[in-house]
């Protein structure tokens, strides 16, 4: 059983090594950035929708509260006229409107809470995306090394070998400086 487990791990490691060589890290990084940008766009859209709903609910709440004030005045008029039947109907409408007000208030509070959570998540996503972009920028700016040889520096020079003659001349100059001192 132990032999089978070890063989399985070796095979899995070899498969992962082959996949690592096939995958291009810069392409994968760019794809990850694109996916994060798409996710962030969807989150921004949802935040805008929640802001619109919050504003709509605030407007609805103002209208409901104005209706409550109006109904209260109408109930006062009905009682003043000693019209109990009308007062009863108005009291019923006032109770229904008060329940609607409570529902709108609760819904607005829930939307406001959800909006705050989404905005915090969006801010966090922006920070992660910025960090990922910075890492991608750093990775694309780093010179590439292939098989231990430098691919060339920023001036395009690739040959930094020094010949034996140059070493001999530099050695003689160094010895001459030291004997003169």
Domain boundaries, the chain: 20-142
Q: Mean pLDDT over all residues of the chain?
A: 84
Pairing outcome for strands 145-146 and 149-150: antiparallel
pLDDT at 123 over 60: yes
| The dihedral sign for the CA sequence 133, 134, 137, 138 | negative
The pLDDT, as a whole number, for residue 145 is 47
Q: Which residue has the higher pLDDT, 172 or 146?
A: 172
Give me 3's structure tokens. Answer: 């032999």
The pLDDT, as a whole number, for residue 144 is 47
pLDDT at 116 over 70: yes
pLDDT at 142 over 80: no
From 1.10.287, 1.10.4100, 1.10.760, 3.30.160, which CATH number describes the 20-142 domain?
1.10.287
pLDDT at 102 over 50: yes
The C-alpha atoms of residue 167 and residue 112 are separated, in whole angstroms, by 75
Q: DSSP assignment of 58-104, as one string?
A: HHHHHHHHHHHHHHHHHHHHHHHTT-HHHHHHHHHHHHHHHHHHHHH
Angle, helices 25-80/84-141, rounded to nearest 10 degrees: 170
Q: Provide mean pLDDT across the span 160-166.
A: 78
Element (H, E) at 149: strand 149-150
Q: Which residue has the tokens 């001192």?
A: 181
Least confident of 13-22, 91-100, 169-178: 13-22
pLDDT at 20 over 80: no
Q: Which residue has the higher pLDDT, 20 or 66?
A: 66
The pLDDT, as a whole number, for residue 170 is 85
Q: Which of 26-40, 53-67, 165-179 has the highest mean pLDDT?
A: 53-67
The pLDDT, as a whole number, for residue 21 is 66
The C-alpha atoms of residue 22 and residue 134 are separated, in whole angstroms, by 24
Q: Provide mean pLDDT across the span 7-11.
A: 80
Give me 116's structure tokens. Answer: 């705050």
Q: Cβ of 61: how many Cβ atoms within 10 Å?
A: 17
- List C-alpha distances in Å: 61 to 49, 105, 108, 169: 18, 7, 9, 91
CA end-to-end distance (rounded Å), the chain: 75
In tens, the pLDDT along 33-65 reads 899 999 999 999 999 999 999 999 999 999 999
pLDDT band at residue 148 using 50, 70 and 90 as cut-offs: very low
């Amino acid at each position: 059983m132990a032999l089978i487990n070890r063989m399985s791990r070796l095979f899995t490691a070899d498969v992962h090594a082959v996949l690592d060589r096939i995958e291009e890290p810069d392409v994968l990084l760019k794809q990850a950035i694109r996916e994060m940008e798409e996710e962030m766009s969807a989150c921004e859209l949802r935040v805008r929708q929640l802001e619109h709903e919050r504003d709509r609910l605030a407007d609805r709440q103002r209208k409901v509260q104005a209706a409550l004030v109006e109904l209260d005045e109408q109930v006062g008029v009905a009682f003043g006229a000693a019209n109990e039947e009308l007062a009863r109907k108005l009291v019923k409408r006032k109770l229904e409107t008060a329940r609607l007000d409570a529902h709108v208030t609760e819904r607005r509070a829930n939307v406001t809470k959800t909006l705050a959570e989404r905005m915090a998540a969006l801010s966090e996503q922006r920070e992660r995306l910025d960090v990922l972009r910075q890492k991608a920028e750093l990775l694309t700016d780093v010179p590439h090394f292939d098989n231990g040889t430098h691919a060339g520096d920023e001036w395009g020079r690739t040959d930094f070998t020094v010949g034996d003659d140059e070493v001999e001349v530099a050695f003689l100059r160094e010895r001459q400086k030291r004997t003169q001192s």
